[in-house]
Amino acid sequence: MIESPKQPSLFKLLDEECMMKGNDPNLLKKYNQFLESNKSFQRSKDVKAQVFTIKHYAGDVLYDVTTFCEKNKDAVSETVLQNLSASTSEII
């Protein structure tokens, strides 16, 4: 559900929505549409709420999608990418 190469997933749907200049309400609609069959995903009973719940092994965690799209649009600076590419460090 978090990341799947073959099925819609949280990250894949988020990236898709951001690439299409989407918004948080549309993202939540996609989450509800594609993920509600997953037993670990729970949509909000309040239709107006911009939240969903993930049922983790340690308990339920409520996520508010407000600003999800905006936060995901942050790109890595070209300068940072160039410096990382030029590094000779094995770790980098």
Instruction: Delimit the domains of the chain by residue range.
Output: 10-86
Query: Are 65 and 18 contacting, i.e. CB atoms less than 8 angstroms apart?
Result: no
Q: What is the mean pLDDT of residues 1-26?
A: 89
CATH number corresponding to 10-86: 1.20.58.530
Q: Residue 17 corresponds to which tokens in the numbers above?
A: 């929505």
Tokens 């670990």, residue located:
40
Query: Are 39 and 55 contacting, i.e. CB atoms less than 8 angstroms apart?
Result: yes
Q: Residue 3 corresponds to which tokens in the numbers above?
A: 């990341």
**What pLDDT, on a 0 to 100 scale, did the predictor assign at position 82?**
81
pLDDT tens digits for range 39-80: 999 999 998 999 999 999 889 999 999 999 998 886 666 787
pTM greater than 0.85: no
Q: At what angle do helices 10-19 and 24-35 cross, to 10 degrees?
A: 140
